[in-house]
Amino acid sequence: MNKKSLLFVPVLSLCLASCGSSQKGQEMEDLTQFVDPRIGTGGHGHVFYGANVPYGFIQLGPTSIPQSWDWVSGYHVSDSTVIGFPHTHLSGTGIGDLHDINVMPVVGEVTYSRGDASSYETGLWSYSDRSKEVVTPGYYRTHLSRYNVDVELTATKRVGFHKYTFLGNESPAIVFDMVNGGCWDKTTEAVIRVVNDSTVSGYRYSKGWTDDQRVFFRAEFSRKFDNVEFIVNDSVKEGDMAKGAQLFARVNFAAGNQEPVYMKVALSPTSEEGAQLNMQTELSGWDFEKTIADAKAAWNKELNKVKVYTTDEASKKIFYTSLYHTLFAPSEFCDVNGDYYGADKQMHKDEGFVNYTTFSLWDTYRAAQPLMTILHPEKMSDIINTMLHIHQQQGKLPVWHLMGCETNCMVGNPGVPVVADAILKDIKGFDTELAFKALKESSMLPERGMEHRIEYGFIPADKMTEAIAYDMEYAIADWAVAQAAQKLGKQEDYEYFLKRSKSYKNYFDASTGFMRGKMLDGSWRTPFSPYASSHREDDYCEGNAWQYTWLVPHDVEGLVECFGSKEAFVNKLDSLFLANGDMGEASSPDISGLIGQYAHGNEPSHHTVYLYTLVGQPWKTADRIKEILHTMYTDQPDGLSGNEDVGQMSAWYILSSFGFYQVEPAGGKFVFGYPNFDKVEIAVPAGKFVIERENKGQQNNYIQGIVFNGTEYKKPWIEYADIMKGGELKFLMGDEPVVWY
């Protein structure tokens, strides 16, 4: 198949696209002042902390000596150790990787190792003076106490820009540490070569969460270096090039020059030549302050797509920090000419779209991707084309794709709802027939439990672990395929996948009112406790029966039927927020942010509060959303109730603050809940979509009625197409719990 045939409409702006223009119809405001990158750096937030630009390949910041799971992003607010400043990081994940091309400014003799906090003699590490640490969107600054050096960082999409001010009299040096990446990451091969007296280049191959990660780089310095020392397997190596899995390179500069040392490091997923091209294109000069300003402007361009009006400064800070966090990923994974490293482990020349990576789809299909269809519809064709090429190259849509590699992390078929959503929302720029082919083929692969669904109609709990979680996520994806099939006139496929989307009913035990593991012979798993959780070793995935019973966002009516009546359904849903029981010592750390057994810290619960609206009790949705917005999100470092999960936790806050949330996995029905702000203005292609809250007293928490474009509105949701046309949505608030639809 011709890979170029995936494009339906030629994409005119490739990876070269500028990010400097202002928003149509909106005055550009400095909204970076409301972003606090510290939010999520404590607790289990796991957010990236450093310098980057929206959707950039570069995420340049400090990495500490890891102490536990909470260090997977490289930074935790409780720790001031620094082992270096790598150019790639993950944000909000539960697994660690990346931290590629790690550099550290040093003076004097050092031990070429990560080290531990017992002594400086154990490694390269230094303490960072937190009193001098400053982070704003696109900029990072700190002081390394051990080496008496001020560190400043900024970035473009593919180039990290460093400024090191050495305050002592010793000869300055910069160490390239090709060994120490993120948690679970191991270098398999690395090369550094001297290009000239102010340039080095090379690459790092590694294996960790990804099975074959490749990053190429080119580093240029603002002044000539004296020499480069190579250390391979703890031994000094002579020459202009060194290769090895245990590779360090020390770039030495002459003493006596008090001017800062500037360094630019360009990355490429394809080659050292690609890195050179990226640097020439994005950052040919040495104007550090201008690069900071350009990064700030790039952030302001994106942040200005939404204006919120409120007297609650903390909520405003949380909102714009959330919006900032949603813009880290997916990240561009191509050179400026469009070349990229594919899922087939081959280099691909420009194929007419911007290639992306970092698809945390089990998390993000729920809110982050639906939010992106509103705020960034122009990027969705590139996202979908990337996913279709991944399907073409590896035989299925991405599950959790990182740096060109499929990790197969998490359960279900989470790429399917994203592609189906794009079809249903009429996103342009991709071939819908090829997209449906990818949906269908990905949904019929006899792997990861799908073979059991095809044979038995469900996944028996005695056939594999996490059977309920896999099957219920597959059912969600099947519903999305069915809706896409119906839109494209594929009636046979529609009926098949719609029927298969009901497989969740196999697990509903009417005697207990919970989803419960069912064996191949039809018996229930025993013993059974709805509270019990054994992390990644039971019938659920990062959850328990209390949480998974509600994981039917695609068929709420069918779930109500399982309970026998709306009254029984609501009573059980009420109990979710009150239940208290022992989850066991082996319970998942992801079950966090608890209100009873509702777990806001993990994704399977994120739609649950909106179920009340869909069964005629919207005031309960409003009560719970207000509670979650104001207790599970704060403006402190531990202000997230769980992993940020590559934008999902933040996207929930953003959409819920708007007053609506996409419950169904695809199609664009945004169910109403609780508007958090007095007024919101969203930039859409047609102009503005304005949300206003009238009668905004402290006690007026319930929607009494809705007016859309001057007309009374009688639905419990608003359609995506209506949002994108622009207009005015007014929530008429009051203190009476009523049904307005």
DSSP string for 35-94 = --TTTTSSTT-----SB--TT-S--B--BPPP-SGGGTTS--TT--EE-BB-S----S-S
Domain range enclosing 426? 1-15+328-442
For 391, the enclosing helix (H) or strand (E) is: helix 377-394
Domain boundary residue, one of 427, 442, 457: 442
pLDDT in tens, 434-479: 999 999 999 999 999 999 999 999 999 999 999 999 999 999 999 9
119 within domain boundaries: yes
> What is the sign, positive or negative, of the torsion defined by CA atoms of 167, 170, 171, 177?
negative
Q: What is the CATH number of the domain that holds 341?
A: 1.20.1050.60
Mean of pLDDT values over 239-246: 97
- Identify whether residues 5 and 53 lie together within a single domain: no
Which pLDDT tens digit goes with each residue over 470-525?
A: 999 999 999 999 999 999 999 999 999 999 999 999 999 999 999 999 999 999 99
The answer for residues whose C-beta is within 8 angstroms of residue 318's C-beta and 6 or more apart is 39, 633, 634, 635, 639, 653
In 3D, which of 480, 430, 301 has the Cα closest to residue 375? 301
Give the CATH number for residue 237.
2.70.98.10
For every residue of 106-132, DSSP letters joined together read EES---SS---TT-GGGSS-EEB-GGG
275 and 334 share a domain?
Answer: no
Greatest Cα pair distance in the chain: 82
Residues 10 and 55 in one domain: no
565 exposure class (CB count in 10 Å sphere: 0-12, 13-18, 19+): exposed
CA distance 248 to 187: 12
Task: Report CA 719 to chain centroid distance, whole Å.
Answer: 25
Which tens digit of pLDDT belongs to each residue from 74-113?
A: 999 999 999 999 999 999 999 999 999 999 999 999 999 9
Tell whether the model's pLDDT for residue 31 goes beyond 80.
yes
Residues 268 and 406 occupy one common structural domain: no
Q: Which two tokens stand for residue 161?
A: 């820009």
Beta pairing class for 199-207 and 213-221 = antiparallel
530 in any annotated domain: no
One domain for residues 374 and 253: no
142 and 273 part of one domain: yes
DSSP letters, 532-582, are ---TTTSSSSSS-HHHHTT--TT-HHHHHHHHSSHHHHHHHHHHHTT----
Looking at 393, 417, 442, which one is the last position of a domain?
A: 442
Question: Is residue 90 situated within a structural domain?
Answer: yes
Q: How far is CA 136 from CA 52, 108, 152, 474, in A?
A: 10, 31, 12, 40
Quick check: 6 pLDDT over 70?
Answer: no
Per residue in 584-631, pLDDT (tens digit) is 988 988 899 999 999 999 999 999 999 999 999 999 999 999 999 999
| CB-CB contact of 609 with 563 (8 Å) | no
Average pLDDT (555-578) is 99
Helix or strand (DSSP H, E) at 483: helix 467-487
- 131 and 269 inside one domain: yes
Question: What whole-number distance in Å separates Cα of residue 226 and Cα of residue 255?
Answer: 10
- Residue 11 and residue 53 share a domain: no
> Cα(608)–Cα(367) distance, rounded to whole angstroms?
13
Q: Which DSSP string corresponds to 299-350?
A: HHHHHTTEEEE-S-HHHHHHHHHHHHHHTS-SEE-S-TTS-EE-TTS-EE--
Measured distance CA(205)–CA(216) in Å, rounded: 9
- For residue 397, how many other CB atoms are within 10 A of its CB? 27
Whose CA is closest to 65, among 79, 86, 77?
79
User: What is the mean predicted confidence (pLDDT) over 409-416?
Assistant: 98
Q: Which two tokens stand for residue 305?
A: 């797509």
Give a yes or no: residue 500 inside a domain: no
* Side chain identity at residue 593, one-letter code: G
Question: Does a structural domain hold residue 423?
Answer: yes
Return the percentage of the chain with pLDDT > 70, whole number: 96
**3-class secondary-structure state, position 238:** coil
Cα dihedral value 609, 614, 617, 621, nearest 10: 20
Residue 54 belongs to a domain: yes
Same domain, 102 and 231: yes
| Beta carbons within 10 angstroms of residue 685's beta carbon | 10
Q: Are 205 and 214 within 8 A, CB to CB?
A: yes
pLDDT for residue 256: 85
**Based on the structure, what is the number of domains in the chain?**
2
Q: Is residue 672 part of a domain?
A: no
pLDDT for res 589? 87
pLDDT in tens, 174-198: 999 999 977 788 999 999 999 999 9
How many CA atoms within 13 Å lie on the side-chain side of 116? 2
Closest CA to 565 of 605, 506, 615, 606: 615
Q: Helix, strand, or coil here: 224?
A: coil
**What's residue 181's pLDDT?**
78
pLDDT of residue 299: 99
- How far is residue 544 CA from its own chain's centroid? 24
Instruction: Report how far residue 97's alpha carbon sits from residue 208's, in angstroms, rounded to the nearest whole number.
Output: 6
Same domain membership, residue 240 and residue 350: no
pLDDT value at residue 15: 40
pLDDT for residue 17: 38
> Domain for residue 674, yes or no?
no
H or E stretch including 417?
helix 415-424
**Beta sheet of 306-309, edge-to-edge order:** 306-309, 679-684, 687-694, 727-734, 702-708, 711-713
Banded model confidence at residue 25, pLDDT cuts 50, 70, 90: very low
Report percent pLDDT > 90 for the chain: 92
pLDDT at 5: 34
Residue 84 sits in the same domain as residue 1: no
Task: Specify whether 161 is located in the same domain as 62.
Answer: yes
The strands making up 405-406's β-sheet, listed across from edge to edge, are 359-360, 400-402, 405-406
Q: What is the pLDDT of residues 50-82, one digit of tens each?
A: 999 999 999 999 999 999 989 999 999 999 999
Decide which of 418, 442, 466 is a domain's last residue.
Answer: 442
Q: Are 315 and 677 in contact (CB under 8 A)?
A: yes
